[in-house]
Structure 1
Amino acid sequence: MTSPTPEAAAGPPPGCPAHQPAGGPARPAAPVTGLYGAAVADDPHGLYARLRAQHGPVAPIELEPGVEAWLVLGYPELLELTRNEQLFSKDSRRWRVPAEGRLRADSRLLPMTSWRPTLLNLDGAEHARLRAAVADTLAKVDHRQLRQATEQAADTLIDGWGPDGTADLIAQYARRLPLMVFTQLIGLPAEAGPHIVELISHFVDSSEKSVKANAEFQAILLDLVRRRREEPAADLTSWLLAHSAALSDEEAVHHLVVLMVAGNETTINWTGNTLRLLLTDRRFRATLTGGRLTVADALEEVLWRDPPTQNFPGRWATSDTVLGGQYISAGDMLVLGLAAANADPAVQQPAGEGLGGNRAHLAWGAGRHVCPAQHPARLIVETAVETLLHRLPDLQLAVPGHELAWRPSPWSRALVALPVLYSAFTPPRTPAVERPAWTPPSPPSPSDSTPSAPTSTPRTPGSGRPGLRSWWSSLAGWWSGR
């Protein structure tokens, strides 16, 4: 799409952030909605609907007081944003807010918007090089082993719950399980797990501890990269360093940040939001237990309605342009409104129709920067939910659904807690069979087919990888002592 410049248009709308008197920062004349605090946590769907009604598919917002941006709410507009690198770059160094000295040194936005030499912040050939390194590294993960490792982690956590038949599925399950898998995948020691998840939470929530947490997190990963340079192992870090893209230590560290933050946080939130759906939506849970739909259908419902990442920064305009009827100036930041675009009336199905099997949502982004880790993430979440439902089929909420609280993050859609009740007795599990430690996959034979996305299949509880029992128990023990 060729976009006209503001000079070629009839005139800007009143209050447009890109058209203010010379000499002052580009700010709307009228109060601008903030994409932070209680408003984005309590009722984001209502917030996006109001913004759409007031401004159309692209709305002016503030990311923190005095820091303006555009939130892209429209489905076709978001596709245009993600597919047109010439007009909308991933390079945050183009952002004019910090260039004009208007971003505080301690801004909570820095961890999520600072430029890094990663596939998230580059365009063109450099992006292609780094994306290939990440995608090829993730492709080395054996899906069968990943499913077994996830199930073993899930069983270990459930076995560790007390005898009173109560649990918080966020703090005691969704937030712990992915970390138990991801620390193993990248090669971090088990004892680092509890501290890592705290750092990631501060990082993603844009809390007052974001900047310090970001620096400490990267220091831990730099140490890991240097050790794996000297002593490679069967883990993602070693495979990433061995890739033909020849990543530097800095590039490797930053891509491990991407894998840990995007993978871990997304998986946590996707698990928690799916469990919430099953526990609060009578229509959906009745259908699921009745046999028409699977856990995989529940996962898709969540990706449409409450995706784990509801907004994502961002794109930066390379020149003056127009998007969704709004006049965008060079250097403006545009935020991908993933949840809002999914709710665009132009793409919503008629009321009452389910979304099972429909993967046209934008929860993974779109274009060349679409998430490369969606299949491993899906497998982990699907296994986590299936295992929990198999072990505790009588799960029910311990509080009314409307009392559940959401974290005040502009980026994540994540519950604070998900308290449940269940029968205190669970059947004993079959002892795990001894298996070797995690190993890279064998080269496929000519008859092998390309692995498909994971699907819901019956599994035997406790079929995770033995030999790792002490590893899982160690990490679970760290968590239980928090």
Structure 2
Amino acid sequence: MTVPEHLAAAGCPYTGRPAGAPLYGSALAADPHGLYARLRAEHGPVAPIELEPGVEAWLVIGYQEMLELTRNEQQFSKDSRGWRVPREGRLRRDSHLVPMTTWRPTLQSADGAEHQRLSTAVGDTLARIDHKRLRETTEAAAMALIESWGPDGTADLVAQFTRRLPLLVFTQLLDLPEEDGPPLLELITGVVDSTADSQRSAAALAGLLASLVRRRREQPGDDLTSWLLTHPVGLTDEEVVHHLVVLLVAGNEPTINWIGNTVRLLLTDRRFRTSLTGGRATVADALDEVLWRDPPVQNFPGRWATSDTVLGGQYISAGDLLVLGLAGANDDPSAHGPDGLSGNRAHLAWGAGRHVCPAKDPARLVVETAIETLLHCLPDLQLAVPAHELTWRPSPWSRALTSLPVLYSAFTPPRSAPPERTAWTPQPQTGSAPTDSTPPEPTSTPRTAGSALSDLRRRLSSLVGWWSGR
């Protein structure tokens, strides 16, 4: 193995890979920012890690290094088939890394011209989504979920709101027949919950989507599947199925976490509530604050080195996996302006380079609408436990609460009309400071009256009823 010239010239002979810090377990869930700070202090902007025992990788937590990594496809490829760990027989067949790193014929695994072809189809398809209709669908889904809660004024927003709302919205974007809605919800839940049956759920989900693709190939409609099938780049049926899986599964988890993390910020952060009180911040500002501080995806695999190189002072071998440390790079002091994070959207929560998330605009609309609807339907929403008792899932990828228990006054939104836009005033709660903050009135898209909106609400209420066991 050749020692990098600049290291040898500097009198720093390469003596082997440094020991990697485990990027798994409870320590990561309890204090990820502390972990990233320690790694930065010990190793610099690129740190050695273990993704599971015996599986090494590099975590890129430098802002500039992240930009270099994501902009240089020739040196750092998205094609995981070059990863030397499975090639050397060191990745277990049942490893939790397999779903996140397996090569598939999607834009997430492609470089160069092939990535351009696939991303054009996906980007153009997402651009066809009617934002007015998407806002109405999201609001109707949020209201249907809130209406399904019991009369005792308590709820777990993770289990009963954030984990369900994005799936309800997706069923409408796909224009699924009503009988396919419940199976789709059940299968996606089985996949993302990583249960013992997750592989069976994944196979069944692919089968359901393949049937949907065959039907839309014969009879195109006004929906995501039809738009992908009829795009001029000419996606195959297999490519469409895989991209639907990406949109449904990879797009679902970040949306869930973004909603939950933003509501947590609004209910617990004294500094942010003070900004709301003074009219200096809005719910939209809270969304950006979360993307900086607790992005819904904190780490993401990845890039694979195509040849030996140096990044951030570390010697990277061909076939090494580099993990995008989105949250860690956001913590890099060089990324923050003189005024801190206020009004700054230069975060890396969406990634960077050609592989930046193509769904960021519809995702923001869904999350913002969901939170606005929740807060205005339940104006006295508050935490049901002290803030320090909230816990996080021990995932190296997601920054996700395990639960978000809340209290509110008994209140049922009207079924025939959207709720009045009343001010939201979080109430004093155990373990957090009192507040009298009131965010500015949000600007809503005018709503469409008539049977179409009534039918949408009926279908969403039916799905929520199935989910609630009614």
Structure-to-structure mapping, 1:33-432, within 5 angstroms: 33-188=21-176, 189-202=180-193, 210-349=198-337, 353=339, 355-426=341-412, 428=414, 430-431=416-417
Contact between 1:151 and 1:462, CA under 8 Å: does it hold in 2? no
Contact between 2:132 and 2:445, CA under 8 Å: does it hold in 1? no
Which whole-Å CA distance do the structure 1 matches of 2:37 and 2:15 have between them?
A: 20
Which whole-Å CA distance do the structure 2 matches of 1:242 and 1:221 have between them?
A: 16
Which whole-Å CA distance do the structure 2 matches of 1:15 and 1:465 have between them?
A: 66
**CA displacement 1:388-444 (0-9 Å, x = unmatched):** 111111111000111111112111111111000111135646537xxxxxxxxxxxx
Q: Tell me whether 4-13 or 40-49 shows the greater mean CA deviation.
A: 4-13
Q: Identify the residue that residue 445 of structure 1 maps to in structure 2.
A: none
**CA displacement 1:90-119 (0-9 Å, x = unmatched):** 010110111111111111111000001111
Contact between 2:383 and 2:407, CA under 8 Å: does it hold in 1? yes
Q: Secondary structure at the match of 1:380?
A: helix
Contact between 2:288 and 2:345, CA under 8 Å: does it hold in 1? yes
Q: CA distance change for structure 1 residues 99 and 7 in 2, over 3 Å: closer, same or farther?
A: farther
Which whole-Å CA distance do the structure 1 matches of 2:210 and 2:350 have between them?
A: 27
Contact between 2:257 and 2:400, CA under 8 Å: does it hold in 1? yes
Q: Tell me whether 110-119 or 462-471 shows the greater mean CA deviation.
A: 462-471
Q: TM-score, normalised by structure 2?
A: 0.88
**CA displacement 1:1-30 (0-9 Å, x = unmatched):** xxx96256317677643xxxxxxxxxx4x4
Q: Which amino acid aligns with 2:64?
A: P
Contact between 2:143 and 2:413, CA under 8 Å: does it hold in 1? no
Aligned with residue 6 of structure 1, among 4, 7, 15: 4
Structure-to-structure mapping, 1:21-40, within 5 angstroms: 28=18, 30=19, 32-40=20-28
Q: Which amino acid aligns with 2:372?
A: E
Q: Secondary structure at the match of 2:453?
A: coil
Q: Secondary structure at the match of 2:455?
A: coil
Which whole-Å CA distance do the structure 2 matches of 1:422 and 1:291 have between them?
A: 24
Q: Secondary structure at the match of 1:478?
A: helix
Contact between 1:200 and 1:265, CA under 8 Å: does it hold in 2? no
Q: Identify the residue that residue 451 of structure 1 maps to in structure 2.
A: none
Which whole-Å CA distance do the structure 2 matches of 1:33 and 1:459 have between them?
A: 48
1:163 positional shift: 1.2
**CA displacement 1:21-52 (0-9 Å, x = unmatched):** xxxxxxx4x4x211112122121111111111
**CA displacement 1:331-366 (0-9 Å, x = unmatched):** 00000000000001212346xx56343110000000
Q: Identify the residue that residue 426 of structure 2 maps to in structure 1.
A: none
Q: Secondary structure at the match of 1:465?
A: helix
Which whole-Å CA distance do the structure 2 matches of 1:194 and 1:261 have between them?
A: 11
Q: Which amino acid aligns with 1:195?
A: E
Q: Secondary structure at the match of 1:36?
A: coil
The Cα RMSD (Å) is 2.4
Aligned residues: 441
Q: Secondary structure at the match of 2:335?
A: coil
Contact between 1:187 and 1:235, CA under 8 Å: does it hold in 2? yes
1:461 positional shift: 9.5
Q: Which amino acid aligns with 2:103?
A: W
Gaps of 5+ in 2: 419-440
1:194 positional shift: 3.2
1:273 positional shift: 0.5
Which whole-Å CA distance do the structure 2 matches of 1:354 and 1:226 have between them?
A: 51
Q: CA distance change for structure 1 residues 13 and 141 in 2, over 3 Å: closer, same or farther?
A: farther
Contact between 2:147 and 2:413, CA under 8 Å: does it hold in 1? no
1:457 positional shift: 1.0
Q: Tell me whether 7-16 or 162-171 shows the greater mean CA deviation.
A: 7-16
Q: CA distance change for structure 1 residues 322 and 211 in 2, over 3 Å: closer, same or farther?
A: farther
Contact between 1:106 and 1:211, CA under 8 Å: does it hold in 2? no
Q: CA distance change for structure 1 residues 194 and 88 in 2, over 3 Å: closer, same or farther?
A: same
Q: TM-score, normalised by structure 1?
A: 0.86
**CA displacement 1:435-464 (0-9 Å, x = unmatched):** xxxxxxxxxxxxxxxxxxxx9414689989
1:282 positional shift: 1.7
